[in-house]
Structure 1
Amino acid sequence: MMVVTALLSWFLVGLFVRVSKARGWGQRVRADGPQTHLVKDGTPTAGGVPFVVATLLVFVPLYLSGQGGDSRELLIMLTALAMGLIGGVDDLLKVRSRMKGGGKSELLAREKFPLQFLVAALFAFFAAPLASHELVPGLGPVGDVVLLTLVMVGSVNAFNFADGLDGLLSGIAIIVLLPLLGLSPLSALLVAALLGFLWFNAHPARVFMGDMGSHAIGAIAAGAYVLHADVWLLPLAAIIPVVATLSVVIQVASFKLRGKRVFKMAPIQHHFEHKDIGWPETHVTMRFWVITAVATAGVWWLLGGRP
């Protein structure tokens, strides 16, 4: 079914690119971002929509036939869809803002975070009793729910911060999910769907992922590691999203407290792109993939070399 998912994703993403270009559903590139990105202005965004749809279309009949895993997989899929819809609103606002020449361009943090926490809390409530390992000895049921809520929200936003370069997040997500291919059918389907998406997202990208895709990826990664592996292995495998998030936190805190920036730009992938550092976008992407691969190999070893 991975081949079917990859081909379906490739077809749907390609169709989405053609329709987006015909209708002008492009993303506005920030003028204060890397100067090399200015040529990307108008590139279709929200490419996560078709690959999430492809994943769902294959997962549903697979699950109903009894080949899509148990209730844990359904819980992960529902959580990914809910988080994806939150990100999808962001994508819609960006497209509408560009087409109308102004207006609200994204959800504010005070609007987005309560929704994310609500979805994450529902996931945590049902996931805590199903986790394949003891989360924290002595933490108790309430503590487990709080922990998993924070993990889910953190993962969704961390993977979102790791986006922004052609092929970067899709490649990272594929590598992070590799140790779970034999444990989580949904993770395998997402890897396949991302391969179809990467065909169009590789440099120079013909489509951007958008927030729906990054939110769904973060939800599936968190859910799969919690329910099939070990929650503490997720930040190791997803080291780049973690570092990207930390770079944003450090940058904001430093500027507010000291009036100075630590990085040329944040998240950190743009720091290396800055003219004073001078790494080409493709070099940043490939090197971050390599770092992710090394970290994920460590996860694979800690899991006993499975699957």
Structure 2
Amino acid sequence: MTVIVALLSWFLVGLFIRVSKARGWGQPIRVDGPAHQHKEGTPTAGGVPFVLAMTAVFFPLYLTGHAGGTRELVIMLAALAMGVIGGIDDLLKVRSRMVGGKKELLAREKFPMQIIVALVFAYVAAPLASHELLPGLGFWGDVALLTFVMVGSVNAFNFADGLDGLLGGIAIIVLLPMFALSPAAALLTGALLGFLWFNAHPARVFMGDMGSHAIGAVAAGAYILYADVWLLPIAAIMPVIAVLSVVIQVISFRTRGKRVFKMSPIQHHFEHPDVGWPETHVVMRFWMVTALATAGVWWLLGGRP
């Protein structure tokens, strides 16, 4: 099934690129950001077709009893709900380029929606987890923890995007220990392989928020329900560092008027001219660190998938 979803994703992403170019659904590039102006107009929201590919394969399998039970359905519904939130953001970005208007969801609009989805997920998932998450705090302590983990994961993976192939490669590596345990994780891995065919440097399409939100939800759901919630930040070390770099940058600038990093998230710090890593080097080195961290998680799981 992973091969099938990879081929379907490859087809749908390629079709999406053709339609996007014909309609001018390109990505606007910030003038105050890294030197990516040559990418202006590259189709964005490439997460839409690969999430569709994953969904189109998952539900027939689930309805015929070949895609796991309740845990898998919970993971997929959380991924789709978070994906819709990211998709609204993608739509606003594309629409603003075409006809103007609102450019994206504000944090005060996005976070409440993410929290609602995460709360519903946590309420359903807490009894399904294979171990007690917070000993002594009971059900509602677990719900609070899982809500935080889901929202944190979605935003961490979102902040880890921004370079050609970066997030897709990181996500595949992070999901590998879950590959044989969670059909949703396996299908997302296949969908990402089809997407990376076009997103590898030089990217012909960008992922957008729908894709990154769905990835964060699947990663959180799989680690919570099949492994150990505390292993997720180890495997996803680079997304964690990316979101922490943004938090540190904002706090430092607002309290001291100084920036800690040349730019944030941290991947843009390394490609800043004062640091000088080529984009491909940043991507490869982030993949390597993720691979080492995920290997550690694999070992902590007993060397089994």
Please, what TM-score do these two structures have when normalized by structure 1?
Answer: 0.99
Q: Counterpart of 1:192?
A: 190
Provide the secondary structure at the position in 1 that maps to 2:133: coil
Alignment partner of 1:244 out of 242, 245, 270: 242
Residue 301 of structure 1, CA deviation: 0.4
Q: Counterpart of 1:229?
A: 227
Provide the secondary structure at the position in 1 that maps to 2:291: helix
Residue 134 of structure 1, CA deviation: 1.4
1:296 equivalent to 2:287? Answer no
Letter of the 1:5 partner, please give it.
V
Residue 67 of structure 1, CA deviation: 1.0
Q: Counterpart of 1:29?
A: 29
Equivalent residue runs for 1:81-230 within 5 Å: 81-100=80-99, 102-230=100-228
Deviations 1:58-105 (Å, cap 9, x if unpaired)?
Answer: 0011111111011000000000000000000000000000011x3110
Letter of the 1:253 partner, please give it.
I
Deviations 1:190-228 (Å, cap 9, x if unpaired)?
Answer: 000000000000000000000000000000000000000
Q: Counterpart of 2:6?
A: 6
Residue 51 of structure 1, CA deviation: 0.2
**How far apart, CA to CA, are the structure 2 residues paired with 1:12 and 1:230?**
34
Residue 299 of structure 1, CA deviation: 0.3
**How far apart, CA to CA, are the structure 2 residues paired with 1:3 and 1:185?**
13
Any runs of at least 4 consecutive aligned residues in structure 1 with deviations exceeding 2 A, and if so which?
A: none
Q: Counterpart of 1:59?
A: 58
Letter of the 1:54 partner, please give it.
A
Q: Provide the identity percentage.
A: 79
Q: Counterpart of 1:258?
A: 256
Q: What is the total number of aligned residue pairs between the two structures?
A: 305
Q: Counterpart of 1:79?
A: 78
**How far apart, CA to CA, are the structure 2 residues paired with 1:305 and 1:139?**
30
**How far apart, CA to CA, are the structure 2 residues paired with 1:305 and 1:47?**
34
1:277 equivalent to 2:278? Answer no
Provide the secondary structure at the position in 2 that maps to 1:19: helix
Structure 1 residues without counterparts, runs of 5 or longer: none
Letter of the 2:103 partner, please give it.
S
**How far apart, CA to CA, are the structure 2 residues paired with 1:43 and 1:134?**
46
Letter of the 2:182 partner, please give it.
S
Instruction: Give me the CA root mean square deviation.
Output: 0.5
**How far apart, CA to CA, are the structure 1 residues paired with 2:126 and 2:56?**
27
Letter of the 2:68 partner, please give it.
G
Provide the secondary structure at the position in 2 that maps to 1:42: coil
Please, what TM-score do these two structures have when normalized by structure 2?
Answer: 0.99
Residue 54 of structure 1, CA deviation: 0.2
Provide the secondary structure at the position in 1 that maps to 2:131: coil
**How far apart, CA to CA, are the structure 2 residues paired with 1:32 and 1:298?**
38
**How far apart, CA to CA, are the structure 1 residues paired with 2:119 and 2:269?**
34
**How far apart, CA to CA, are the structure 2 residues paired with 1:132 and 1:294?**
25
**How far apart, CA to CA, are the structure 2 residues paired with 1:111 and 1:255?**
23
**How far apart, CA to CA, are the structure 2 residues paired with 1:41 and 1:221?**
30
Deviations 1:267-292 (Å, cap 9, x if unpaired)?
Answer: 00000000000000000000000000
Equivalent residue runs for 1:35-46 within 5 Å: 35=35, 37-46=36-45
**How far apart, CA to CA, are the structure 2 residues paired with 1:218 and 1:52?**
12
**How far apart, CA to CA, are the structure 2 residues paired with 1:229 and 1:206?**
35
**How far apart, CA to CA, are the structure 1 residues paired with 2:296 and 2:252?**
32
**How far apart, CA to CA, are the structure 1 residues paired with 2:102 and 2:9?**
30
Letter of the 1:215 partner, please give it.
H
Alignment partner of 1:268 out of 256, 266, 269: 266
